[in-house]
Amino acid sequence: MRKGIHANQEFKYKIIGVDDESGILDSLGVFLNKSGYSFVGVTDPLEAIEKVKNEHFDLMLLDFIMSPLHGDQVVEEIRKFNKELYILLLTGHKDLAPPLETIRRLDIQGYCEKSDKFDQLLLLIESGIKAISQMNLIKQINLELIDANDKLETAYMESIETLRYTVEAKDTYTRGHSDRVSAYSVLIGEKLNLSEEDIKSLKIGGLFHDIGKIGVPDNILLKDAKLTDDEYSEIKNHPTIGAHILSNASIFKDILPIVKHHHEKYDGTGYPGKLVGTNIPYLARITAIADSFDAMTSKRTYRNSLELNIVIDELDRCKGTQFDPAITDAFLDILKNDYSKINEIREKFNPEQ
């Protein structure tokens, strides 16, 4: 049986399970304790709320259909005093899960159908623990920086690089991709005459925009074949996971909109917030174009890179639907009249993968 990612450490991550069926909690307790976690089971959702209020837990496994409160109502109460708890919702059937909008609004990190086998649940828990460990690292960094203002800039960059390397070790595509998205975003920002502060946010936000992929199971992230709908839903969680990881450190506050909203679309069909038009943070709209451009011009396992003329046509076609029209026009001007700068970026950051 696979052990928890922390099994060789003295510290055990603490998980609370909430389900009105004691038998399920007993089974979860045996399974998770063997996997190296500290587990507490609670059958009464009201008692669970009080436990979370008075004790520390790293992660909650929460049944959806319960009495006297359903799972989403439990989360509603918990979020009034605890914004950090990582919550996975358990459902008897995915059709019984709350609407996606509710899951996002309450910052529920994921859900899993109940099963006699806990392998899929363990993957989600391990992904959650990875995100939690990174969030704890960031908290530690933030505390250490309080009394070190003179070293803030250096520590800021070093902390970003440390966490980014964690993602790169997991997904080799992200390495060159994040560097190029960062550079393209800066190029667009300079074209739009943005402030030095905004340019810096675009640079760091681009490097860090996919940090949430650390919370996506490896078997999904590294899959060569076409993803199933459920697997694609897991991938779509990475902006929210990334924002959750960074949200506790004030030094990252300026890049949170980029990390969380770089997959929004101008017409409101993107994710995670389905934001429309100018409701999408401006710097996220810039990063979205840089991200899409690099995806189209990079060779992947399932297709070759697209020719420049095809990419230009696609960007032009998606103005006003996927992309901000004015920002797209600025980038198209670079592609048509100043492409040498694009080539410099691609040569610097290893375009051939």
Q: What's the CATH number where 243 sits?
A: 1.10.3210.10
What share of the chain has pLDDT > 70, as a percent? 86
**Residues 6 or more apart in contact with residue 147 via CB below 8 angstroms:** none
Name the region of 36 (left: φ>0; alpha: ψ -120 to 50; beta: rest). Answer: left
Six token digits for residue 189 = 């920002």
303-313 confidence digits (pLDDT tens): 788 999 999 99
353 within domain boundaries: no
If asked whether residues 108 and 189 sit together in one domain, one would say no
Six token digits for residue 251 = 């030094």
Considering only CA atoms, which of 202, 249, 225, 233 is closest in space to residue 302?
225
If asked whether residues 113 and 176 sit together in one domain, one would say no
| Residue span of the structural domain in which 125 resides | 14-131
One-letter amino acid of 300 = R
Buried b (16+ CB within 10 A) or exposed e, 306-324: beeeebbeebeebbeebbb
Residue 301, exposed/middle/buried by CB under 10 A (0-12, 13-18, 19+)? exposed
Choosing from 131, 160, 195, the residue where a domain stops is: 131
Distances (CA, A) of 301 to 109, 166, 181, 222, 263: 29, 22, 19, 10, 22
Q: 315 vs 149, which has greater pLDDT?
A: 315
278 within domain boundaries: yes
Strand partners, 11: none
Concerning whether 83 is annotated as a catalytic residue, the answer is no
Choosing from 103, 131, 159, the residue where a domain stops is: 131
**Residues 6 or more apart in contact with residue 344 via CB below 8 angstroms:** none
If asked whether residues 198 and 334 sit together in one domain, one would say yes
Give the pLDDT confidence score for residue 251 in this predicted structure.
Answer: 73
Cα 177-100-327 angle, rounded to 5 deg: 40
92 within domain boundaries: yes
What's the CA gap between 7 and 198, in Å, rounded?
A: 42
If asked whether residues 263 and 115 sit together in one domain, one would say no
pLDDT band at 40 (very low <50, low <70, confident <90, very high): very high
What's the CA gap between 207 and 323, in Å, rounded?
A: 20
Chain centroid to Cα 296, Å, comes to 21
Strands (E), the chain: 14-18, 38-42, 59-63, 86-91, 110-113
230 within domain boundaries: yes
73-117 confidence digits (pLDDT tens): 999 999 999 988 999 988 876 666 677 777 888 888 887 877 777
Strand partners, 242: none
If asked whether residues 189 and 299 sit together in one domain, one would say yes
Q: Reply yes or no: is the peptide bond before residue 272 cis, omega within 30 of 0.
A: yes
Strand partners, 319: 323
Six token digits for residue 329 = 């026009």
Give the pLDDT confidence score for residue 6 in this predicted structure.
Answer: 44
**Residues 6 or more apart in contact with residue 233 via CB below 8 angstroms:** none
Q: Does residue 53 have a pLDDT over 80? A: yes
If asked whether residues 124 and 168 sit together in one domain, one would say no
Q: Which residue has the tokens 């964690």?
A: 166
If asked whether residues 65 and 186 sit together in one domain, one would say no
5 within domain boundaries: no
Considering only CA atoms, which of 283, 266, 299, 31 is closest in space to residue 182?
283
Q: 107 vs 248, which has greater pLDDT?
A: 107
One-letter amino acid of 172 = T
Q: Does residue 200 have a pLDDT over 60? A: yes
Per the CB < 8 A criterion, the answer to whether 204 and 288 are in contact is no
**What is residue 254's three-state secondary structure?**
helix
Q: What is the pTM of this model?
A: 0.62
Could you say which DSSP state residue 87 is in? E
> For residue 134, how many C-alpha atoms fall within 13 Å in the half-sphere facing its CB?
27
96 within domain boundaries: yes
If asked whether residues 75 and 176 sit together in one domain, one would say no
pLDDT band at 155 (very low <50, low <70, confident <90, very high): low
191 within domain boundaries: yes
If asked whether residues 24 and 121 sit together in one domain, one would say yes
Strand partners, 18: 42, 62
If asked whether residues 156 and 89 sit together in one domain, one would say no
If asked whether residues 327 and 236 sit together in one domain, one would say yes
What's the CA gap between 323 and 276, in Å, rounded?
A: 10
Total domains present in the chain: 2
Choosing from 131, 164, 198, the residue where a domain stops is: 131
If asked whether residues 105 and 175 sit together in one domain, one would say no
Mean of the per-residue pLDDT values of the chain: 85
Give the pLDDT confidence score for residue 4 in this predicted structure.
Answer: 45
The CATH number for 112's domain is: 3.40.50.2300
What's the CA gap between 5 and 13, in Å, rounded?
A: 10
Catalytic residue among 14, 114, 213, 319: 213
171 within domain boundaries: yes
